[in-house]
Structure 1
Amino acid sequence: MNRLQKLVAQSWSCAAVVLAMALLGATAAPAVDGAAPSPPDATASPFANLAGWWGGRGRIRFTDGKTEDVRCRATYFVEGEGNALRQNIRCASQSGKIELKSAVRHTEGAISGEWSEDVYNVRGSLDGSVTPHGFRVGVQSADGGTLSANMDIIVKDTRQMVEIQFFSETLVGLTLLLEKG
């Protein structure tokens, strides 16, 4: 694999991170003080507490054993009576950067949406569900195979943790921690 292909693969992995961020705060935070969280309300807006700026860092893992630090920042705009989310996200690593825009919808406990990345001109879709602690999401590029990943997103207060498992020849996974600014 040449350097350009690796750069694109890493950038697409950052795109997956950005997509995860799109959903990270999309539900009310779990109960505090160790109380068990309530099951999600399928009709409540999971985007209510997401509006504003989020930022954080993480680490991506490659199949060759190497790792790389990633930094991301995002601005979320809640619309449509709280059931629609629009965002602008930027992520950077030593190897490159991405600039992503996405639109996400919530309907009766299901999450779906579209995303586009401006630097590498990549597009795709996402779908998933609200869980008691956050979200479980699948991401796919529009071409059906360039980018495919599963994400688990945990939300607590003003923090989010994202674990991404890639289906890729070059990428293994990514862990990202974010805080609301």
Structure 2
Amino acid sequence: MEHLQAYRAAGDGKHRANKPIEARARNRRLLFAAAVLFVAAFANTESNAQAGPFAPLAGSWSGAGTVILDDGSTERIRCRAKYAPIGPTLEMSLTCASDAYKFILGANVKSEGGAIAGSWSETSRNISGSLQGRGAGGNYELVASTAGFNANISLKTSGNKQSVSIRADSQFRGANVSLSK
């Protein structure tokens, strides 16, 4: 008993069991309010990410397809794509690989009135350039270009299915990929 009295005296009566009921209730209300604000902020961020011309692309996709090399040969490839739309802008990455071939395509674009413009890079070959085109609602026709390289990119999305077609004028002739969420 002496020990308990000394403990309470050392804490100046601020032992948890001594807190008034109103203070504990206020702390619970503050914690609940903080949780509600956090959820509201997260939900608002998600809705902004889902709004805009790139909304149908949002999220991670995966699938398979073929890559066409300059000699006309084809190889099967597996691909992963990630699209992060925020309003009229989109950040994307597409990684495709086979046993002998790999490309990593990234892009940052903005849409204004259906016109799309931005930049792209292919990191495994250390090249980058501009990206322009048109589209909305999950369907886009784009041209990626840099010195000595041009590629037409067609992206068509319907629900959780997507097809990507790339046609180029270099040793990499193109790719056809089917993705799903």
Q: TM-score, normalised by structure 2?
A: 0.63
Structure-2 residue corresponding to 1:64: 71
| Alignment size in residue pairs | 132
Q: Does 1:173 align with 2:174?
A: yes
In the alignment, the residues of structure 1 paired with residue 165 and residue 75 of structure 2 have an alpha-carbon distance, to the nearest angstrom, of 15
Q: Which has the larger radius of gyration?
A: 2
When the two chains are superposed, the root-mean-square deviation of aligned CA atoms in Å is 2.4
Q: Does 1:96 align with 2:98?
A: no
1:49-60 equivalences under 5 Å are: 49-60=56-67
Q: Does 1:121 align with 2:130?
A: no
Question: Which structure exhibits the higher relative contact order, with contacts defined as CA atoms closer than 8 Å and separated by 6 or more residues?
Answer: 1
Indicate the SS of the match to 1:154: strand
Note the residue ranges of structure 1 that are not aligned, 5 or more in a row: 1-27, 29-43
| Matched residue type, 1:74 | A
Cα deviation, 1:42-84, whole Å, max 9, x if unaligned, reads xx822112221111111122342311112111222222xx111
Which stretches of structure 1, 4 residues or longer, exceed 6 Å deviation after superposition?
none
Alpha-carbon distance, 1:137 to partner: 0.9
In the alignment, the residues of structure 2 paired with residue 171 and residue 115 of structure 1 have an alpha-carbon distance, to the nearest angstrom, of 16
**Greater Cα shift, 127-136 or 83-92:** 127-136
Note the residue ranges of structure 2 that are not aligned, 5 or more in a row: 1-49
In the alignment, the residues of structure 2 paired with residue 71 and residue 137 of structure 1 have an alpha-carbon distance, to the nearest angstrom, of 22
Among 60, 65, 74, the alignment partner of 2:81 is: 74
| Matched residue type, 1:46 | P
Structure-1 residue corresponding to 2:24: none
| Contact 2:165/2:177 (<8 A) preserved | yes
Cα deviation, 1:131-172, whole Å, max 9, x if unaligned, reads 68711111112xx11x2111222221111112222223x343
| Matched residue type, 1:98 | F
Q: TM-score, normalised by structure 1?
A: 0.63
In the alignment, the residues of structure 2 paired with residue 173 and residue 116 of structure 1 have an alpha-carbon distance, to the nearest angstrom, of 16
* Percent pairwise identity: 37
| Contact 2:142/2:153 (<8 A) preserved | yes
**Greater Cα shift, 53-62 or 93-102:** 93-102
**Greater Cα shift, 157-166 or 105-114:** 157-166
In the alignment, the residues of structure 1 paired with residue 137 and residue 53 of structure 2 have an alpha-carbon distance, to the nearest angstrom, of 11
| Alpha-carbon spacing, 1:63–1:152, altered in 2? closer, same or farther (3 Å) | same
In the alignment, the residues of structure 2 paired with residue 50 and residue 131 of structure 1 have an alpha-carbon distance, to the nearest angstrom, of 10
